[in-house]
Structure 1
Amino acid sequence: MSADQPLVAILDDEPEIRRMLADALEEAGFRTTSYARATEFEAGLKRSSPDVCLVDLGLPDRDGLALVHRLALESGAAIIIISGRAQVQDRVTGLELGADDYIIKPFDPTEVVARIRARLRKGRGEAQPTAQTARFAGWTAHFDRFLLVDEAGHETSFSHAEGEVLRLFLESPNRLITRAQMQESLGGAAGESFDRAMDVRISRLRTKLGEDPKNPRLIKTIYGAGYIFLGDVRWG
């Protein structure tokens, strides 16, 4: 299989699930690596950089949600939780901590393949600028390295999920972006969990951009309507 094919890292302590996912993904043209324990998974990340991480929350050696949060902060991979925890609060928490999607067990492997393809399409974004660098308000966003750099050269990392939101704003500066438009562009089921996940990601972006939470100058909340990014943006 070509090294150009997307790499999916599978972390689940159940051998049957790992095999089922790997078989379905490889048949669909993906490369895969599989791990039963978080320690093995983290060691594997030092050797390769997956495009997507499938993470089970019920791990024998690590808290799954803590691992998801760390991945969101340190990895550029899309993160999809696969878990038997079906409560709404579990889904909300997973998305708030940085996951891009949440799939409940039991599941159909074809659904997982479809969700991964959709997530990668959104990550590439056919309508997105081809440039990986945007400059605005004294900041430079490097989407290939998931970094924000201020005028003094100080670097701040952002997660894959935060980068999706930031890119959406920078592609449409000075224009209202509604919740419905965000849901359509970023994917995920509309509802409380999506809204709360967006609120958390936007709050984190404001913090990283040094915004006053009570009076942000760049990412404005238009109550009852959505958000607007104020400022000039230069790509490339």
Structure 2
Amino acid sequence: MKSNNLIYVIEDEEDLGQLMCRALENFRYQVRYFTNGVDALTAAPKDNPDICIVDLNLPDMDGLELVKQFDSQHRGVIIVSGRDDLTDRVLGLEFGADDYVTKPFEPRELVARVQSLLRRLQRSVEAETVVAKKAEFSGWVFRPDSLELSYQAQDKQSLSRAEGDMLLSLLKHPFQILSRDQLLGDNCTPYDRSIDVRMSRLRKKLESSGDGNELIKTVYGAGYMLTTAVVWS
């Protein structure tokens, strides 16, 4: 299953551009490839890409200007460039880039930087989100402030802080696959399997009432996904 994250690759060297696309697609990202800046700018408002990977030496416009425009649209930006001068790096970051990768580079390094930036962007969105009083989904109501979970205003039960934090992350991103790292956040350690225990407990509580549908789906090798719409109030 592909990730919901869409990555733009804007690179006029087609061999390199296709190599970057394949590397990202191997990690199940959705990717669109452009050889110039104008086409990417035209498509972005409709596609709403999460991250734009921009080469500075484009045939139709200054790459730094493209970076600036993408930043003004609140998109994550990674520069890839053969320019290794400190001035270029500083200018790129000042114009709104989130990261700067110099050519040549290993495709796996680029993927790692994309993954890291996506995590930072998600944390930033969550930090800026005003938590509403309650979330309603498939007959359930969850109140983050009290960690109270109830079904159709009955069967009230309390979640642990860890269970509540995990459910809150899922509720903020319905129909999106969240990795173990994303669900555990800063509490994550290498090969941490505690999330499986917490997820099992949370599922049992959700299965204690309701219509029996699987609200939290396991996406093997990727993470977990909430399979229902959420209304905040």
Q: Normalising by the residue count of structure 2, what TM-score does the alignment of the two structures yield?
A: 0.53
Q: 2:12 corresponds to which residue?
A: 13
CA shift for structure 1 position 44 = 1.6
Equivalences for 1:124-139 in 2 at 5 Å? 124-125=122-123, 128-129=126-127, 131-132=129-130
**For 1:42 and 1:128, how far apart are their aligned partners in 2?**
27
Q: What is the identity, as a one-letter code, of the residue corresponding to 2:91?
A: T
**For 1:100 and 1:124, how far apart are their aligned partners in 2?**
14
Equivalences for 1:2-81 in 2 at 5 Å? 2=2, 5-73=4-72, 75-81=73-79
Q: Secondary structure, in 3 states, of the residue corresponding to 2:68?
A: helix
CA shift for structure 1 position 102 = 0.3
Summarize deviations over 1:196-224 as a string: whole Å, max 9, x none. xxxxxxxxxxxxxxxxxxxxxxxxxxxxx
After TM superposition, which residue ranges in structure 1, 4 or more long, deviate above 6 angstroms?
none
CA gap of 1:133–1:45, structure 2 versus 1, over 3 A, is farther
**For 2:45 and 2:7, how far apart are their aligned partners in 1?**
15
CA shift for structure 1 position 131 = 2.5
Q: What is the identity, as a one-letter code, of the residue corresponding to 1:95?
A: L
Q: Which of 74, 97, 117 pairs up with 1:119? A: 117
Identity score, percent: 36
CA gap of 1:133–1:67, structure 2 versus 1, over 3 A, is farther
Q: Secondary structure, in 3 states, of the residue corresponding to 2:4?
A: coil
CA shift for structure 1 position 66 = 1.2
Q: Secondary structure, in 3 states, of the residue corresponding to 2:56?
A: coil
Q: What is the identity, as a one-letter code, of the residue corresponding to 2:35?
A: A
Summarize deviations over 1:78-137 as a string: whole Å, max 9, x none. 000000000011000000111000000001000000001011111112995483589xxx
Unaligned runs of 5+ in 2: 133-185, 187-232
Give the number of equivalent residue pairs: 134
Summarize deviations over 1:138-181 as a string: whole Å, max 9, x none. xxxxxxxxxxxxxxxxxxxxxxxxxxxxxxxxxxxxxxxxxxxx
